[in-house]
Structure 1
Amino acid sequence: MKQNANASVWLPRAIAVILAALMTLFFAITINNMMTLGAETDRTKNGPYPVSVAAGRVETLLVQCRTLADRPLFTRTDSAINDIERSYAVADADLREKLSFMATAHESDPEAARKLEQGYESLDVAQREYVALCRNADVTDEEIEAYVDGIIDPAVEELLRIDAGILDESTESVEQLYGIVKERGRQTVGWAVVLMAGVTVSLAVYLTLMYRNRMREGRLKADLQEALALAQSASAAKSQFLSNMSHDIRTPMNAIVGLTAIAKTHLHEPDRIAACLDRIQSSSRHLLSLINDVLDMGKIESGKIVLNEDRFSFPEFVNGVIAIVQPQARAKNLSLDITVGTIQQETVIGDSMRMNQALINLVSNALKYTPDGGSVRLSLSEGPSRRPGCRDYRFVVQDTGLGMSPEFIERLFDPFEREESDMTERIEGTGLG
């Protein structure tokens, strides 16, 4: 019980500490993940992502420049050449803006951004020369085609190659951000699951402890109520016992008083006086045993009564019991029959005082609860015992009195109990017998 009580104290504390640690760890991991994601997002937003967008636009414009270089091969009119020149000018402004941004924002490989910007400067010079060749009527289409194939296209291809590298690197950084977001999100969810599992387990343990505590409190309350009821019942029984114990004492006292009166009337008959004195002595011993039991209530309540082993005469023992209860039978005009079977061992070893007390209680109760004019029978018999060197003695008390109900028989051996009815209320008794 004490171990369970200690567990109910330290276990919730341990669970609270574990939960606090889990929540602190989860909070730290979540904050760290959020800060990491924020930093990566800012880095990607300010660098790789706009660089990848700019690189994609540069790729489109470079392909457009290569396409513009092929147009004069089909027509070399002034309007067509003017359109090419205007298109070059528009693409040039856009390209210079994107290349300038890439040169400052592409921190992972600034050398490639610089090469791309310098290469475009060479391409721009070549494109201006190309427009001039197209305007010159002395230059043949074959020469223009050779210029495009030898100067323009290789320059564009080289710039596209550098731009593709920058685009791939920037796109990889953006995809890297997605991977970080996914990883940190999975980590956060995992710790959230662990925390929720800890909370669930802790809640289950807490509810279990609460249930056990309530059950323990309920049992304790029931035990206390039962102990209170037993204490009250024992107190009431003892009070009734103390007020009514004169009944059990009265039987041997009546025998002593009666035998003393008989002895006084036969003072000139020594044998009669000796017989009365023997019976008075037997009744006195029984009275002494009752008084000892009354004074030593602890023995009665705990059942720790030590049995003596004394040698005594069985016929004298029976005669002593009859001598004590016979005056009570005569007073109520009752028939007291004694039936003794075959008794082979007249001298036995045992606790004659306890046997005397038990048998007198049985016979006196039979006499007490039997109406006037009734009969009481005491039967004694001897039989073999399963224990070597011992004999079994059977005592049977029968009467024509009130009897007992089946319900009361279950409480027959409870201390200070007796069946209460309208007839027994008029009869004094404590249930000590």
Structure 2
Amino acid sequence: MTIPGPLSALRSRREHLLERQAALAALTRIDVYQNENLEQTLHYIMETAAQLMCVERVSLWRYTQTRCAIHCLDLYESSLDRHSSGAQLQAELYPDYFRALATSDAIVADDAHADPRTHEFSSTYLTPLGVTAMLDTPVYLHGQIDGVLCHEQVGPPTPWTPEDRLFGIALANLIALAVERDERRRAEEALRESEQRLATLVAYAPDAILVFDADADRYIEANDQAARLFGRARDALLQIDPLELSPERQPDGRISSEVRQEMIDRALEGETPVFEWLHQNASGALVPCEIRLVRLPHASRRLIRGSVIDIGERMRTEQALRASEQRLSTMLAFSPDAITLLDVDTLRFVEVNEQAARLYGRDRDALLRIGPVELSPARQPDGRLSNEAAREKVEEALDGGVPVFEWWHADPSGTLFPCEVRLVRLPDATRRLVRGSVIDISERKLAEAARRESEARLRGILDASMDCIISIDRDGCIIEFNPASERTFGYRREDVIGRELAGLVIPPELRDAHRQGLKRYLATGEGPLLGKRIEVPALRADGTEFPVEISVTPVSGGASFVTATVRDITERKRAQAELRAAKDAAEAANRAKSEFLANMSHELRTPLNSVLGYAQLLRREAELNERQCKALTVVEQSGEHLLGLIDEILDMAKIEAGTLDVVADNFDLQRLLASIASMMKSRAQAKGLSFTQAQWSDIPRVIRGDERRLRQVLMNLLDNAIKYTQQGGVVLKTGLNDGRLCFLVEDTGIGIRPEHLSEIFEVFHQVRDPSTVIDGTGLGLAISKRLVHLMGGALQVSSTPREGSRFWFELDVPPVETQPPIAVSRIATGIAGERRRVLVVDDEADGRSLLRDLLVPLGFEVYEAADGEAAIDEALRLLPDAILMDMRMPRLDGLAATRRIRALPELSGMVIVAISASAFEHNRARCIESGADEFVPKPFRQERLIELLCARLGLTVLYSASGSNADDEPDGEVVIDAPPSEDLQRLLDLASRGDVRQLLHEANELARRDRAHAPFAGRICELGEAYRMKELRRWLRSFTNGQGSDP
């Protein structure tokens, strides 16, 4: 008998449910409660879940400590029978999923790509892994969501059943039990280890240790040292009342029980009281002790550890010390010298005699509050710090020496006086003491100073000179050789006096010339070197030659005959050589950098040309739906972003080379601000931020300046503001300030610390924030500052950390009376005129294909060549009307090919447009110099290339349905084709109500239905997104009146 379909399905579900229940029971009995290895337990649960749920992937994720992400504890892939872990998902990247996880019992996604809770994973997770359906169940731990158990289907999805959901919840609860048990086991092990460490610490501590239970008011642990100290067995100590170990009162008269309770309370409050205490041992003898109390951490009891030290011996030693000090004071009083007794550890006097008080001009009590450092200047005459020098001498005395040295002291008025000091260590049981005997040697120092002054006058000039000064007599023998000469030539003065100069410091090959010159001077009084500075080689004592600069001066009178000033110029020569080498290296590095930037620009712009080029080609398709348009926009924006990064690096290179400049022209400032605001508003809203454009005063509509560079600066500042702002908003303000046009960008971002404000304009610098990941090159602000400077302004900044930043600059830009034409987007659809041949030359097949796909639909005949040699052959064969020539190719590059084509008479008049991924200005100049008519950098704007090519070939460009072409409208203006009256009236009603969102939606729908109305819709979006509603309503009414003109 055949069982009906529904009944069979019911039976199958019942059997599957029973199988799952059995598996859960088995897991509960065995794995969760018996296996101490959590990892093995989780592996088994994951494998069981994958088998019973019939899914490819089962994984367990737990929140990080900050709950801003979840990380994978275990991922089981059924088909591979493989476990893995370690992946992490950030909440900021998947906000919808994390919100759903926090607010629902389970995420049941039969279609994970479409479900709003899981669709964020499509591109990064679902599609790469083939996941189609997800069942994510929260794991609760200690009353809150601690993680999530994920079941993922791969392949055709099967809807999740209620049993699936209940089974997932059961597994999640089972996992929570396993984790809680593992945490409890670990905590118990840690507690046992802690108690064992405490017992070991108590047993082996060198001091007497007692552990006191404040609630039971008794000792619960004592070591052997405590038993010996109190003269009782350990077990007896644990049974005795703690008060029996103390007399009724302490030496200060306070009751022992009251003081004891005060110290216990302080320890329980977290303090570490250290105090002296009088204990009583088993025989009744009093034992002076020092006690330190510390509260021990414990889950259920208030425990205090007491460390007890017998200080009886220390107290007896202190008494003996006091008696010894009294005897020493008596001895000091009768010494004829100034005597001080210094405590080395505190560097303070502990005793001085009357002679010391008179010497230092202070009374005894004042001296006992200071030390020798306070009686000395900051530095001694040799330049050493007094405290360091004093410490060194004291250490020498402690080591058993008897240092005797001179020292400068200061009296209370600050007057310095010299002394002779003798230090001797005094034996002492408890302190390190040094006795100092001090004698005033002021008179001795005055006599020595007079003698040194007399000697210094004799050799002052020679010794002070940094140059070598050598004097010789008429026989050419040395009679003066100053210290600089000793250092330079390596001879001692006493070794050279009286010896011939030529044999010591002049190289052998020059000695005869020196002697002949000396004879000539003696005979005639003339010498070619007198009064001049010349460079000659000299000879050191070790035989090495080195360059010197020498000046010879005759001396009249005395023994000296000629004196020479000699300067070692080895370092100068080396520095000159190093400077030349550094210059050569810098020039080589600059050439390498230029070559690298050119290669980088070429290698990045070449694929970008294809990416952006085909995106522009796809824009020409009339039947693109909204999703395709959005996808194209992503491609274009990503490509433009990458191109912007490349341009930033190239701009930085131009700044370093000093070739970055600005080009002034008339442009519509308000349209520029509106377009920037439209773009930045979208970026801000994508991050949940507000964006505001405001003016505090009227500004001119049309100004003269560099529109591209001004746009670059404002986009950089606004882009940075959005990057570094996580909540709040960004504001772009403009207005006039004392006749100057001012631009201000404000944000509510992370701000910049004052000490970092000077760094943000450095190359490759970015503000760092641990909670934010920022992309970019770190060049934007450096380039913006330079551009603002080139435009005649100064980029300034102010910032408050965690509140936001303000960047602003002012420009002197003259307003222009004439109004620029209204630029309207238009697409070329063909050419009017004779069909022309175009030869495309590019070693990249993608580059040739892009140009062919662009030009053929417009009516051109397109031929291809892969390098310069082939280009010349094809040009001779086809005689094309124009050549689009790539510049970097194998075999023969574009520059060489262009020169050779221009050299051929039959090809000399041909139009050649150089197309290059190398965007430096010198590359453009080289292309034009080689014979190219035009230069177009990659990636290129297709409409620009078409217009340029047609202009060179004398062709007319035909544009899309608006009926305009490049030659029919002055200054590139396009006649805007208005929609039917009912559509026009609906748009005007929306504009009158101020419903901007619906107005923009209607405009986009209008452009999608009929591309002929795209310029009209584009103008609505431009005015609407800029909130220029009054201007928009006036413009729409002009069409209802039959005027059809742009405002």
Pairwise same-fold verdict (TM > 0.5): no
TM-score by length of 1: 0.38
Structure with the higher helix share, 1 or 2: 1
Larger Rg: 1
Q: Which has the higher strand share?
A: 2
TM-score normalised to structure 2 length: 0.18
